[in-house]
Structure 1
Amino acid sequence: MQPVIGITPDYDSAAGRYQLHQDYAAAISAVGGYPVMLFGQGEIPLFLDGIVLSGGGDIDPLLFHEEPLRESGEISPRRDQFELSLCQAAIQKNIPLLGICRGMQVINIALGGTIYQDIGVQTKSTLKHRQQAPRDYATHSIMIEENTLLSHLWGKEKAAVNSFHHQGVALLGEGLRYSAKSQDGLIEAIEHTEKPFIFGVQWHPEAMKTGEQGRIFAAFVQAAAEFHAIRR
């Protein structure tokens, strides 16, 4: 049986509309998962074997105990509340989690960490983290830590990724470690040191569509299949 993977969509408050790029579902389907879209209502469905927290807009700074800077972008309170509660419940139940871009930041906040509201203002970075290039094109490098999930998946110390963000992980949440950083020191990937599979990346692997990026989804869906076997 295919592992069932729930994917959180973005939510347009003004239009009252959920939306999700097809690349997320395609990436999950390509490695044997069965993707379904999750809506911000009720508890985690019992049939879920894994959860992808997708990319999107900014997270409300009040949720990590900061006042909003003027550089902060549009927020979606409905999405924030749903994803944080979903993430915390999934962590308690050991449901595999994959956070992409904003999703990585949600995982970090759910575990008590913080994020930079705007890396251009709050760090000394001069790198371009919001690229003006096709979504599938890599525009900056990351340095991969040894003995991490990412190093095991890719077998290398350096790689190039795409980048579409102005926020980033600052103080790591409880139980998390970084598994990659960009050359300006910004955290680009995180993983949990104790839980079976909690992994986040700051880039968009679903958009790059390479075999290397596909191994991230394959490892996640494999973890979801193992979770399904345990809970049967």
Structure 2
Amino acid sequence: MNPVIGITPSTQNETNMHFVSAANIAAIKGAGGIPIILPFVVSEDQIRQIGNMIDGLYLTGGNSIDPTLFHEEPHPKLGEINPIRDQYEVAIIEEMQTQQKPILGVCRGCQILNVALGGDMYQDIYAQIDGELLQHKQHAPASHASHFVHVKEETLLREIVETERIKVNSRHHQANRNPGKDIQISGIASDGVVEAIESKQAPFILGVQWHPEDLATAGDTVSKRIYNAFVQACSENENNT
């Protein structure tokens, strides 16, 4: 059977709308997964039940993250946050880790994954990192790969992409800083910004700072490999339960 992938949606505070881009849905479907959009719940029993229902968790991009989760006050350049989403995603990440199920996070999803596991992040890279940085909020179509990422050896990401350098798209002003417990940095931009993290122990916990969903749906081979590897890990997990 095809594995069921739970997708966390973005939110709009003013309208309270929950939404997921078509590219995220298409990327999961294209890799053979069955995508379902998850509701935000706070009950431990409901979170556990959702964890039991899905074979893998996909954390999408979106708004900024509450810095009090990593013991900081809000920076003036911090964007809009949604505390309910933050609380829910931290809880479902912890539940999936407990159940030893695969997790893939993109952009904001990469950041909340690291924060949930005890790491921290830059609230605004341009205000908080000294030195000249790349353009991390590209002025180009979403499916355009605009800068390079160096992929470290002996990592899950390197195993997936099969090359030491990949080209990615970029739409962010925040980024991970210090990795959380049992998390390692597996991809980095030429300016030193963290572009990918992963678990040192779990078979598949991976976060990437870019948006592979847009690249995959445009036909990018490397991005397709990321989704294929994730869905395959979810399928193997399903078969073992």
TM-score by length of 2: 0.94
4+ residue segments displaced more than 3 Å: none
Report what 1:43 is aligned to: 47
- Correspondence 1:79 to 2:85: yes
Report what 2:108 is aligned to: 102
The answer to whether the Cα contact below 8 Å between 2:47 and 2:91 also exists between their aligned partners in 1 is no
Residues 1-232 of structure 1 mapped to structure 2, 5 A cutoff: 1-41=1-41, 42-44=46-48, 45=50, 46-124=52-130, 125-209=132-216, 210-231=220-241
* Deviations, residues 8-36 of structure 1 (Å, cap 9, x unaligned): 00111210110110111100111111000
Measured in 2, the distance between the counterparts of 1:174 and 1:32 equals: 31
* Deviations, residues 80-134 of structure 1 (Å, cap 9, x unaligned): 1111111111111111000000001011001100000000011124211011110
* Deviations, residues 27-57 of structure 1 (Å, cap 9, x unaligned): 0111111000001123142220001000001
Measured in 1, the distance between the counterparts of 2:187 and 2:16 equals: 36
Percent identity between matched residues is: 42
* Deviations, residues 130-180 of structure 1 (Å, cap 9, x unaligned): 111100001111111011112112221111100000000001000011111
Q: Number of aligned residue pairs: give it.
A: 231
Query: Structure 1 regions of 5+ residues with no counterpart?
Result: none
Question: Secondary structure of the equivalent of 1:203?
Answer: coil
Measured in 1, the distance between the counterparts of 2:66 and 2:143 equals: 28
What amino acid sits opposite 1:17 in the alignment? Answer: M
Measured in 1, the distance between the counterparts of 2:91 and 2:25 equals: 22
What amino acid sits opposite 2:2 in the alignment? Answer: Q
Query: Structure 2 regions of 5+ residues with no counterpart?
Result: none
The answer to whether the Cα contact below 8 Å between 2:102 and 2:203 also exists between their aligned partners in 1 is yes
Measured in 2, the distance between the counterparts of 1:193 and 1:43 equals: 25
